[in-house]
Structure 1
Amino acid sequence: MLADNILEMLKDEISNIEYERYIKQLKFDEKSSKSDFLVYKAQNPLIANWVKTKYSKKIAQLYEIKTGVKPKVEIVVTKFDKKRKKIIPKETQKNTSSTKLNPSYTFENFVVGSSNQFAYTAALSVAEKPGQLYNPLFIYGGVGLGKTHLLQAIGNYNLDRGKAVIYTTIEQFMNDFTYHLRNQTMDRFREKYRQCDLLLIDDVQFLSRKEQTQEEFFHTFNELHNKSKQIVLTSDKHPKLIAGLEDRLKSRFEWGLIADIQPPELETKIAIIKKKCELDGISLGDDVVNYLATTMDNNIREIEGTIIKLNAYASLMNQKITLDFAKSVLKEQIKEQQENITMDDIIRVVSKELNIKPSEIKSKSRSRQIVNARRIVMYLARNLTPNSMPALAQYFGMKDHTSVSHAMKKINEIMEKDENFKVQIEELTNKIKHS
């Protein structure tokens, strides 16, 4: 059966330990599955969450390569019901347990750079002395920058030390609240959330305008804080900027420490890609790593998915992941990104970094500094946008494309001789893509 064969294919891409411990334990649920919806059963939540987090995208990609259909992959936990004598997917039952921690999210696996140093240090301090230093700890930043990783790292650190840890999303918290309220079992809800040593809540911005849930969360927060139990929250924005959140909650979220995570600079991005490759047992050359770092968005989860995609294609096609191979596999993905970058975006970033007015770059000035900036803009525009050399020549009021070709050649020559200049171009590329 194809769905089982897909799991077999993973054997060549991951370690034997992970395959035997997790992948081999899955059972394909043919009855619940469809051509675009694959359901696998796992024996326990640990296996289910591990596979779902780390391999569900890879399973979907392998299936798509084989069939041309991109499926949704669902990993469900099964439970044996003695009365009915059959396996029942746990997801069909009323489940009020919190989301499980992903064991791969640890402080050791988190790549630290200037963009996340403060948040990392704060999270580690809280993990080592929960309830004593910063309570609550509020971590905010954009999608895929590592907030959930740090949140769960705090949980895993304390779980290993015998602490009672609850990690959950605010959505799960709201679902639990609604379920117990409807069934008049609020005492069980409060016992669950108010008896832990650490309460870790992801995506707290979704509390917005949920007045009844905010009321309950307010009292849960107070109860835990009064007992010196640690509270850690994440959001995509600063608590002051969460619309529809009661002022008393905003105030409490600011009682402890607020730490933000910024998009990673190029050096950190490269380190993150290398770390992901190391953890997944994937070998990429420095040229491919640099290409991904300067080309991909800052969303770390998307970068990881791209690495898995490259590895899957290379494995199926029995090819080494070279720079040309990576460009070929990702060409449509990169093309979509390029179409969103404009000349104004490039000129704005370059002029700011080189301390030159945008109007000077488009002028006829022959000043050495401005000529250099103009060449850099042409080089970046040729690589980051669909603009042809004739189109760029027309944009800068030149006779023909030969001037653009000369500028490209000049920049390439300098990059080959001057490593610092090459790094500067890579940094500009990264800033333009994510400005």
Structure 2
Amino acid sequence: MNLGEKVLQALKKEITQKEFEHYIRNLSYDAEASRSDLAVFYAPNIYSARWIRTNYAASIAHLIEMENGVKPEVEIRVGNGPRRFAPSNQSAEPSKSSKNVHLNPSFLFESFIVGSSNQFAYTTAKSVAEKPGRQYNPLFIYGGVGLGKTHLLQAIGNYRLGFGDRVIYTTLEQFMNKYISHVKSQTMDRFREHFRECDLLLIDDIQFLSRKEQTQEEFFHTFNELHQAGKQIVMTSDRQPKKIAGLVDRLRSRFEWGLMTDIQPPELETKIAIIQKKCELDGIHLDKEIVHYIATHMGDNIREIEGTIIRLNAMSTMLNQPITLEFAQNAIKDQIKEKQENVSIDDIVRIVSAELNVKPSDIKSKKRTRNVVNARRIVIYLARNLTPNSMPQIALYFGMKDHTAISHAMKKINEIVENDENFKVLLEELSNKVGTATKQTDS
């Protein structure tokens, strides 16, 4: 046992079992990189590294000083490290949670950005992680693509791994492929043992059970075995159980036994927070106006937004250019153009009229009352920025003689944006609502 492992063993006696399992067990010591004045450890992700650095680094340094008489600087890096920390009893059995788990270590509750659109889903997922198999069993999380369902699902799994639970995470497709493979090889006993002897079963994209009669039959029995044994089941889907076509009634009713919670498309503030967090983690600097531009123009698919940020940073590095607003606009213009083609001026009128309490017919009329003019200008501005329509086409929509009136409206609203931060926020919120509403209509 090397110095680092001795120290972690000693630390184990000073902290709770929960703390040790959740944070310290996952540390690995790098003996080659360490010196008498420097102790290097590896944590599996940035969140664990930060927590350990803040809460345990001083204790680790003190324990090392007690071992060799020199108090070192403790450095917590992110990565796998040269070897994992193991308990002193080297002949002991491997942790029962170590088998057949493929979780993303960055999918933690600490890294999930919470907003009004996902608050309930986050709270219930955290509750299940803390007290599995108690009250919300099964937990059924549903919502659109890229909104964070898989993140919450795996956060539950990562949390329970810290307690030594046997966790199985699988997509429905993987479950089905394993089932078919074991049927062909006549090894169904091994299949059933694998999925039924766990403490926590996490199933992603359960909607693909649709019309898979044999797989449904097998999953029905797996579900029953686990539920009767008090084991926790968590599933995600892009829709509610009652909307999954071709799902047998007895499975549908079981999916509804526990608790169903949805994740809605994120509001503007949540998207901004997610972008800022992603930039912080990846060491990317984006000005506030760029963050707002991405948040208001890139829709509500969080995975897509994160991919856009990575792409911007890669292009900036390869071209050796700073990420300015103009740079960002040019880099993602094709993505935005594709989204614009799905937005109509009618969509914008409908949403703006509802938000500002102005009749759609008034917006399209010649009325000049203050609230109507304000709403009309906003529609024109959003139509110019969120649709592929040219100024003459927008003028034609409003029955105007030519595009000069549209140009004047754009100039006026840009002046207001420059001087009124509240109005700018309103435009961003309306832009976000248009993108969200049209995406829901398409789906």
TM-score w.r.t. the length of structure 2 is 0.75
Aligned positions of 1:279-428 closer than 5 A: 279-428=281-430
Partner of 1:206: 208
Partner of 2:221: 219
Deviations 1:7-42 (A, max 9, x none): xxxxxxxxxxxxxx9xxxxxxxxxxxxxxxxxxxxx
Partner of 1:262: 264
Deviation of the 1:133 alpha carbon? 2.3
Deviations 1:105-139 (A, max 9, x none): 00011000000000000000000111112100000
SS at match of 1:341: coil
Larger Rg: 2
Query: Which residue, out of 136, 139, 150, partners 1:137?
Result: 139
Deviations 1:132-188 (A, max 9, x none): 121000000000000000000000001121110000001111111111111111111
Partner of 1:187: 189
Query: Which residue, out of 128, 151, 154, partners 2:153?
Result: 151
CA contact (8 A) 1:125 1:133 kept: no
**1:272 equivalenced with 2:271 (yes/no):** no
Residue type at the aligned position of 1:305: G
SS at match of 2:110: coil
Partner of 1:433: 435
Work out the CA distance in 1 between the residues paired with 2:183 and 2:390: 62
SS at match of 2:260: strand
Partner of 1:240: 242
Work out the CA distance in 1 between the residues paired with 2:432 and 2:363: 20
Partner of 1:249: 251
SS at match of 1:310: helix
CA contact (8 A) 1:347 1:361 kept: yes
Identity of aligned residues (%): 72
SS at match of 1:108: helix
Deviations 1:387-425 (A, max 9, x none): 222332232222332322221122122222222211111
Work out the CA distance in 1 between the residues paired with 2:232 and 2:143: 21
Deviations 1:277-329 (A, max 9, x none): 11222111111110000010211111111111100100001111110100111
SS at match of 1:360: helix
Work out the CA distance in 1 between the residues paired with 2:211 and 2:338: 35
Work out the CA distance in 2 between the residues paired with 1:122 and 1:329: 38
Deviation of the 1:367 alpha carbon? 1.6
Residue type at the aligned position of 1:403: A
Work out the CA distance in 1 between the residues paired with 2:436 and 2:259: 27
Partner of 1:111: 113
Residue type at the aligned position of 2:152: L
Q: Aligned pair count?
A: 342
Work out the CA distance in 1 between the residues paired with 2:231 and 2:312: 44
Work out the CA distance in 2 between the residues paired with 1:347 and 1:99: 49
Residue type at the aligned position of 1:141: G
SS at match of 1:150: helix
Residue type at the aligned position of 2:125: A
Residue type at the aligned position of 1:229: K
Deviation of the 1:99 alpha carbon? 6.0
Residue type at the aligned position of 1:423: V
Work out the CA distance in 2 between the residues paired with 1:99 and 1:291: 38
Work out the CA distance in 1 between the residues paired with 2:236 and 2:100: 16
Deviations 1:16-74 (A, max 9, x none): xxxxx9xxxxxxxxxxxxxxxxxxxxxxxx99xxxxxxxxxxxxxxxxxxxxxxxxxxx
Residue type at the aligned position of 1:312: A
Work out the CA distance in 2 between the residues paired with 1:162 and 1:170: 24
Find runs of 4+ consecutive structure 1 residues off by over 3 angstroms: none
CA contact (8 A) 1:116 1:262 kept: yes
SS at match of 1:434: helix
Residue type at the aligned position of 1:345: D
Work out the CA distance in 2 between the residues paired with 1:386 and 1:261: 30
Gaps of 5+ in 1: 1-20, 22-45, 48-96
Aligned positions of 1:50-199 closer than 5 A: 98=100, 100-199=102-201
Gaps of 5+ in 2: 1-29, 31-43, 46-98, 438-443
Work out the CA distance in 2 between the residues paired with 1:386 and 1:205: 35
SS at match of 2:252: helix
CA contact (8 A) 1:196 1:229 kept: yes
CA contact (8 A) 2:107 2:152 kept: yes
CA contact (8 A) 2:101 2:167 kept: no
